[in-house]
């Protein structure tokens, strides 16, 4: 089953904008943990916002779990597709953690008892049950983002989209979020689309795609993508630092194979040094 499918989708932000999406064709399988890479302005966020009807395509069709997205079923689809955005300070709607997590569930009209259960589940899933009655403004960035994820989880979505949700966090906060999402994918079977600029995050995914000018230009395993360094550069993406080091060592006459993690590269270097 395809969790999300774009068929020949076209979109633009109006005449004056330089951005054009003309033929987006791409699908995500149910249960996948997919990384979406691309430079700023390549269309990653547009792709995310089209998936739950925050933006309406100018042409083509978007299907969510086999159902074509229309104006009529928009609210049904949104229950299935949760989006977590970048800024931890602009997503909370309440001042207390449990009220914020309950907001979406209340909005779709769930029974009070059911909402209580959903809050328990969602806060436990993101490891924030101790903070149930905490004031959101006093939490760290990583904790705020976990509350945002819990708010989405309370609706029991089948697909979650994280649109650079770790970009504003420090390394510790980033790890917290990625661990939570990875676990949700493995244990709850939630399909995840992770939009990110960080190679370490993309490497945790089962598949990765690269966007450029509103289209998918590369699809591969994350390792496969990062090894195609020259191609990444043509899409305005930098070669990961570790790839850069491999390349420069080779240019200096040291025969090291491409590596994406520290230990593999260390092994490669050891083979070549006296």
Partner 1 sequence: MRIVAEHLSCIYNAKSPFAVKALDDVSLTVEEGEFFGIIGHTGSGKSTFVQHLNGLLRLPSSLKRGKKKDDTVLTVGEFDLTSKKTDFRALRKRVGMVFQYPENQLFAETVFDDVAFGYKNFAEKKPEQGELETAVREAIEVVGLDYGAVKDASPFDLSGGQKRRVAIAGVIVTKPEILVLDEPAAGLDPLGKREVMSLLHKLRESWCKTVVVVSHDMDEIAENCTRVAVFTEGKVKYVLPPAELFKRTEELTELGLDVPLTAKLVLALKKRGVTIDCDYTQEDFIRKVLARRGEKC
Q: Which residues bind partner 1 (CB under 8 A)?
A: 16-17, 38-41, 86, 138, 140-142, 164, 167-173, 197, 236-238, 240-242, 244-245, 248-249, 252-255, 262-263, 265-267, 269-274
Cβ atoms 154, 101 nearer than 8 A: yes
HSE at residue 246, side-chain half, CA atoms within 13 A, is 22
Output 2 or 175, the one with its CB closest to partner 1: 175
Output 79 or 228, the one with its CB closest to partner 1: 228
Angle between helices 112-125 and 141-153 (to 10 degrees): 140
Residue 7 CB: number of other CB atoms within 10 A? 16
Output 63 or 264, the one with its CB closest to partner 1: 264
Output 197 or 228, the one with its CB closest to partner 1: 197
CA atoms of 33 and 192, how far apart (whole Å): 5
DSSP conformation class of 185: H
Output 98 or 163, the one with its CB closest to partner 1: 163
Q: Is 145 helix (H, G, I), strand (E, B) or coil?
A: helix
CA atoms of 166 and 268, how far apart (whole Å): 32
């Amino acid at each position: 089953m395809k969790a999300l499918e774009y068929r020949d989708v076209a979109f633009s932000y109006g005449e004056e904008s330089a951005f054009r999406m003309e033929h987006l064709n791409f699908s995500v399988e149910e249960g996948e943990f997919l990384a979406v890479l691309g430079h700023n302005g390549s269309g990653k966020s547009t792709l995310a916002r089209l998936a739950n009807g925050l933006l309406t395509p100018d042409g083509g069709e978007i299907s969510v779990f086999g159902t074509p997205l229309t104006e009529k079923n928009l609210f049904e689809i949104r229950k299935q597709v949760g989006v977590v955005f970048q800024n931890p300070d602009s997503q909370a709607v309440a001042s207390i953690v449990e009220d914020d997590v309950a907001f979406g569930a209340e909005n779709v009209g769930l029974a009070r008892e059911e909402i209580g259960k959903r809050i328990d589940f969602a806060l436990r899933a993101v490891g924030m049950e101790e903070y149930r009655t905490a004031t959101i403004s006093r939490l760290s960035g990583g904790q705020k983002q976990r509350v945002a994820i819990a708010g989405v989880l309370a609706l029991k979505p089948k697909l979650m989209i994280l649109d650079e949700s770790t970009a504003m966090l420090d390394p510790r906060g980033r790890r917290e979020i990625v661990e939570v999402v990875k676990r949700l994918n493995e244990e709850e079977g939630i399909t995840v689309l992770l939009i990110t600029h960080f190679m370490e995050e993309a490497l945790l995914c089962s598949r990765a795609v690269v966007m450029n000018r509103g289209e998918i230009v590369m699809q591969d395993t994350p390792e496969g993508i990062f090894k195609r360094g020259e191609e990444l550069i043509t899409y305005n993406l930098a070669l990961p630092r570790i790839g850069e080091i491999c390349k420069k060592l080779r240019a200096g006459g040291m025969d090291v194979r491409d590596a994406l993690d520290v230990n593999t590269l260390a092994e490669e270097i050891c083979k070549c040094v006296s």
